[in-house]
A and B are shown apart, each in its own frame.
Chain A
Amino acid sequence: MNEPIDNILARYRGQPGPLLLVLHAIQDELGYIPADAVPAVAEGLNLSRAEVHGVLTFYHYFRQSPPGQHIVQLCRAESCQAMQAEQLAEHVQRRLDIGFHQTSADGRFSLEPVYCLGNCACSPAMMIDGHLYGRVSPARFDELLAEWQRDP
């Protein structure tokens, strides 16, 4: 059996409505929810595999495949659109040479759309591995990319 998943199940089994807690904990630990976690979680929480699969695939945040080393979330909502987020999105995709929901060939960056980071007074906004950035111009993105590329 999978030890991290068993530990997580042991930690949350007694909680009311624990499935999201468990899926969050697995993703925090492994970076994604591997396919073999589904039957293990189903059995551990006395749910059907269909229920676990249904929840896993309902929420945009949960990943079923390993992400790149860094996750770039680019806001595509209205406030950011009002500040040229669409042009920024084109620039980011060109620079990373990937589309949304994809990971760069070197495995360094995954690009995800996000619909609002709550940074709407400083649009356009972007988050890299939980670090929030505001007023991101294409030039600012290039600077940030260089900083994150230096990161091991």
Chain B
Amino acid sequence: MSTVVYISKDASALSLGAEEVARAIAAQARAQGVEVVVKRNGSRGMFWLEPLVEVVTPAGRHAYGPVTVGNLPSLFAADFLHAGVHDLYLGMTEEIPYLKQQQRLTFARVGVVEPASLDDYLAHDGYRGLRRALTMGPAEIVRAVTESGLRGRGGAAFPTGIKWQTVLDASAAQKYVTCNADEGDSGTFADRMLMEGDPFVLIEGMTIAALAVGATQGYIYLRVEYPHAHRALKVAIAAAYAAGYLGADVLGSGKRFDLEVRLGAGAYICGEETSMLESLEGRRGEVRVRPPLPAVKGLFGKPTIVNNVISLASVPIILDKGATYYRDFGTGKSRGTLPVQLAGNLKRAGLVECAFGVTLRELLYDYAGGSASGRPLRTVQIGGPLGAYVPESQFDTALDYEALSGIGALLGHGGIVAFDDTVDMAHMARYAMEFCAIESCGKCTPCRIGSTRGVEVIDRIMHGVDRDRNLALLDDLCETMLQGSLCGLGGMAPFPVRSALKYFRDDFLKVRRP
């Protein structure tokens, strides 16, 4: 009988050598005359254990990691194909505390199934949400999403159901569903992991969205930096078409839904929804003035749903298990679960999906085990390059939209980048302005020009030139950008700068060598 071994095909796992390990296991098994079937899954999100090798026995999946090609002779000698004892043995995968303590709803299948296999998806509750939705009317689907309490996971946290209602209420011959997969924030990789590890759930979510509002065409706007996700999506979309889950007659319902992936071209601003629509239309990704909202006048001027990958991928489980099931997770106005991405200087960086309400400290120490460098953590930046820096004294804050905005921070897309005590916060503030200057679309003067002036002013402060005057000027500049920018790039770039100044002022004032 052949043994089944799972090795991830997730881009991060590949970046640590998973492909070489997968090939070497297959080759060595052949050489020894042992029958092994190597299956390629997504990642469980425990990246300090990647490349993770899972061996299937009647008891379930046993984990070994991190495995290098050099470990293979001893793993074979220890009979790892029958879960033999070895230094790299981690026990049953699902019993690893980091994974076991999570509440995986949106990521339930990621790292479990083979992302390229529609059969595997169906065998793990796939397309149950869509089948349910096909028995419901549009208004009923929208109501379920509204009642689930799902809010936009891309960063803006706008209630998804209300957005859908607006598109449903708009009357037009053509409507669109678009997925914002331009995950550009540093410290975030949930969209990437999901698209690579369970692409069908995104396709299913978009199909349900289309049924809910009467759209017939969908686009996934994917960043070009994600070639692995691109391949996974193309394979899954082709399989969904072939099996009748996409196309002119979705599951015999008489409803059409076509879906296409379009690639971005390395512009961070295209993660802003109106800029993304411009880019999808083949233009410069310049931000549009709102109103009109995209829900009323969006892609090609038609009513359009614009939702993040995680928002759309959370819809199938809401339809399958009901709005109440989903909203019973979470706290206050933050319902359901959030895939938190732990990144930067952390010992156990990775993906943790859990109900809203978990504290930063639990995530950074209980899950992540503190810094990778072994030095004290000094600060975290939450929500990408436009997110505030949060000092250690506020690590007891709970992760929910309201609690974070209460301390002047924001959750964004759920990425947390940790820094140890060697970080120079004046440098990080300068970088925030520099990044804004590189990525500004140029439409609003405060963002286009202000960001460059911001770099210069911070340089002067750092080098002790007219410090008091320049500090006042920087504050004034931040206010101008905040008030005078159409979108969040110029409007939020002041957040990291001001929070760095507020909590780490000494870094700006220390004496530097020229």
Binding site for B on A (CB under 8 A): 16-21, 23-24, 51, 54-55, 58-62, 73, 75, 77-83, 114-123, 125, 127, 130-135
Contact = CB atoms under 8 A, between A and B. Distances in A.
30 contacts: A17-B280, A17-B281, A17-B283, A17-B300, A20-B265, A21-B262, A24-B224, A58-B284, A61-B267, A62-B265, A77-B186, A78-B344, A79-B187, A81-B428, A82-B345, A82-B420, A83-B372, A115-B184, A115-B268, A115-B438, A117-B11, A118-B183, A118-B188, A120-B341, A120-B417, A121-B47, A121-B349, A121-B351, A122-B12, A122-B16
A20 B349 CA distance: 35
Given A18-B282, A80-B186, 14 more contacts: A17-B282, A17-B300, A58-B284, A60-B266, A79-B187, A81-B428, A114-B225, A118-B12, A118-B183, A118-B188, A120-B188, A121-B351, A122-B50, A123-B349
B344 A55 contact: no
A55 B343 contact: no
B224 A79 contact: no
Contacts of A59: 264-267, 285
A116 B184 contact: yes
A120 B186 contact: yes
B184 A121 contact: no
B304 interface: no
Given A78-B381, A78-B428, A83-B345, A134 B12 contact: yes
> When A and B form their complex, which 5 residue pairs have the shortest distance between CB atoms, in order from nearest?
A77-B186, A61-B266, A19-B282, A59-B265, A120-B343
B189 A78 contact: no
B418 A60 contact: no
Contacts of A78: 186-187, 344, 381, 385, 417, 428, 431
Given A16-B300, A54-B284, A55-B282, A119 B15 contact: yes
Contacts of B282: 17-21, 55
B320 interface: no
A67 B298 CA distance: 36
A55 B15 CA distance: 32
A20 B262 CA distance: 9
A119 B16 CA distance: 10
A100 to B, nearest CB: 11
B228 interface: yes
B360 to A, nearest CB: 16
B189 A120 contact: yes
A21 B260 CA distance: 12
B306 interface: no
Contacts of B441: 58
A20 B15 contact: no
B423 interface: yes
Nearest to A135: B16
Contact of B343 (A79, A115, A130): A79
Nearest to B267: A59
Interface in B257-286: 262-268, 279-285
Interface residues of B, number: 60
A122 B225 contact: no
B439 interface: yes
Interface string B328-368: 00000000000001111100011100000000000000000
Contacts of B24: none
Contacts of A18: 282
A118 B225 contact: yes
A9 to B, nearest CB: 13
Contact of A55 (B14, B263, B266, B284): B284
B369 interface: no
Contacts of A54: 284
B504 interface: no
A3 B445 CA distance: 42
B345 A117 contact: no
B419 interface: yes
A16 B281 CA distance: 7
Most buried by B among A77, A120, A127: A120
A21 B219 CA distance: 13
Contacts of A123: 343-344, 349
B468 to A, nearest CB: 29
B186 A116 contact: yes
A127 B24 CA distance: 23
B202 to A, nearest CB: 15
Nearest to A23: B265
